[in-house]
Amino acid sequence: MRALAYFGPGNVRVVKKPDPRIEHPQDVVLRVTRAAICGSDLHLLHGLVPDTRVGCTLGHEFTGVVEEVGRDVKTLKRGDRVVVPFNISCGRCFFCERGLFANCENTNPSSNDIASGVYGYSHTTGGFEGGQAEYVRVPFADVGPTRIPEDMEDEEVLFLSDILPTGYQAAEMGEIQKGETVIVFGSGPVGLFAQLSAWLMGAGRVIAVDRVPERLHFARQFNGVEILNFEEVDDPVMTLREMTGGRGADVCIDAVGMEAEGSTLERALGLKANLEAGVATALAWCIQTARKGGNVSIVGVYGPPWNLVPIGTAMNKGLTLRMNQCNVKRYLPHLLKHIREGRIDARRIITHRFPLERAPEAYDLFEKRARGCIKCVLLPHGEA
Amino acid sequence: MSTDRRADGLHTHLPPAGPGRVDDVDPTARPGVPMEHLPEPFPTAPERVVVQRPRVEVLQIPGRKKPVWVVSNAQPPRGLSGRLRRRAFRIPEHHPQHWMLLLAADRLEVRLTRAKRWLGFAAGALALWAVLRAIEDR
Ligand SMILES: [Zn+2]
Ligand SMILES: [Zn+2]
């Protein structure tokens, strides 16, 4: 089969690989119909995630058709169309039993501290091959994949694999109460869905912060939020405090993660000198613009082993910091209902579609945020 | 809120975004609240699980009590970078050295792969040159 593979920082290519096969009785193999490129794939592309091995296939957001079924799989059969959460979860360990599917302890041999197994996200999350390929192996097929309703198209539900539930969980962890003010840092796909979810949870004001004018424009159109381009002001923290009555926002959401812009010093430390795991500027701004006693919710991805974070400020302001990788499976039925009933039109954020062979070009476009790119989707088998 | 759908399944009347879209105001309507619930197995989780035996070397973090249930057989550790990775996995992950060694192994692997590729090109070019010379000399 053909698959997109990593060959070093800034270098991904489409290569031939052996087809995946059933390796465990609870596996299925999918023929991939849609595979999205995620903002967090850029951290891999930039070589920021440790143990990203040459030749690994990226991609953790995909839909597909069941092609082969392991002998112990009970709920799926050949031909079923499914959307797959990015986390690989066993469904019955200490953590899965408590709903913490992202923290499953049975799918990632390489780490106790990072996450469960994840498709296409380095050997730090288990080294499982990703979905930016013609076929992909899906372990624990009775737990992760969700069947796509017959009257729905793959692209309508594709983002249930990660960015929509991640954005929703971001808002949920903010414990938004009716009428509260929410600042969302980062207006990429996850930020957009966090803004939308904040409205669904009754926010009174939602402010989107980013530096890419097209993304802010899109946020205003898609979600009807207030916007701030932090590059157009001297001091974004002061501006946001002013915008929120001097006190700060009730809830701040970090939908940026480890490659934030905004601080030359931190970028030098984190991205040039590698003295910290990337850059935590967005998180610092969350802490600095939340009101005392407010909540900060983190879904932006940070790597090990450490980051510079103004934790003293957080402590002295009495903030609550909440964070996790998304427990995707918890949200699938609820968000599927929102999509079916027309409250969320997730597919609208797709700006570009590419065949698999042009995946490197898609990465380039997405990385540069060029041509108004919000979200790129790959079609490994064409329109089918 | 409108739920009209065209025959082709596309939504026609999306409600406007913005304040007033308040479907999940009640925290109990939010599916992840509380994030950790009382223990119960996922309804369709397998009752019995076979532990997958890896076909290749799979590096495990030290201190793990039992093997994980599924693993990936892709890109096992190899060559010099593999040796660095094995070393990294002798150090628990709360020590920064674990991650530093892994990052070093990543960079080394990329350089070696590139060098091998160039060596391959160079060898090919050299062979071609030798063949052309031989033809000319005839
Ligand atoms: Zn993603
Ligand atoms: Zn589990």
Ligand lying nearest the CA atom of residue A37:
1
Residues A345 and A273 in one domain: no
Q: Does the interface ipTM go beyond 0.90?
A: yes
pLDDT of B8 reads: 35
pLDDT of A266 reads: 84
Work out the minimum CA distance from B17 to partner chain A, whole angstroms: 5
| Residue for token pair 């109460």 | A177
Residue A94, domain CATH: 3.90.180.10
Q: What's the pLDDT tens digit per position in A293-321? A: 999 999 999 988 889 999 999 999 999 99
Domain ranges in chain B are 79-137
| Region B43-61 average pLDDT | 94
CA distance A223 to A217: 10
Q: What is the dihedral of CA A340, A345, A350, A351, to 10 degrees?
A: 150
Which residues, at least 6 apart from A360, have a Cβ–Cβ distance to it below 8 Å?
A4, A12, A13, A14
Residue A287, domain CATH: 3.40.50.720
| Region A64-85 average pLDDT | 98
Residues A119 and A267 in one domain: no
Residue B20, pLDDT > 90, answer: no
Three-state DSSP class for B4? coil
Which band of pLDDT confidence, cut at 50, 70 and 90, is reported for residue B22? low
Q: What's the pLDDT tens digit per position in A199-219? A: 999 999 999 999 999 999 999
Residue B14, pLDDT > 50, answer: no
Residue A123, pLDDT > 60, answer: yes
- Any domain includes A373: yes
Residues A13 and A147 in one domain: yes
Residue A254, pLDDT > 70, answer: yes
Residues A298 and A354 in one domain: no
Question: Among A285, A301, A323, which residue terminates a domain?
Answer: A323
- pLDDT above 70 coverage of chain A, percent: 100
Residues A39 and A128 in one domain: yes
Query: A146 with A160: CB under 8 angstroms?
Result: yes
Number of independent structural domains in chain A? 2
Mean pLDDT value across chain B: 85
- Any domain includes A384: no
pLDDT of A384 reads: 56
Q: Chain B partners of A75 at a C-beta cutoff of 8 Å?
A: 44
pLDDT of A76 reads: 98
pLDDT of A383 reads: 79
Residues A242 and A365 in one domain: no
Three-state DSSP class for A62? strand
pTM beyond 0.80: yes
Give phi and psi for A29, each to the nearest 5.
-110, 130
- Ligand 1 centre to CA of A380 (Å) is 18
For A136, the domain range is 2-162+327-379
Three-state DSSP class for B136? helix
Q: What's the pLDDT tens digit per position in B63-106? A: 888 899 999 999 999 999 999 999 999 999 999 999 999 999 99
CA distance A325 to A161: 12
Residues A9 and A47 in one domain: yes
Residues A90 and A203 in one domain: no
Q: Chain A partners of B99 at a C-beta cutoff of 8 Å?
A: 50, 277, 303-305
> DSSP of A130-148, one letter per residue?
-SSBSEEEESSTTTS-EEP
CA distance A236 to A285: 8
CA distance A61 to A63: 7
Residues A226 and A343 in one domain: no
- CB contact residues (below 8 A), chain B span 95-134, against chain A: 95-96, 98-99, 102-103, 105-107, 109-110, 113-114
Residues A286 and A343 in one domain: no
Residues A353 and A275 in one domain: no
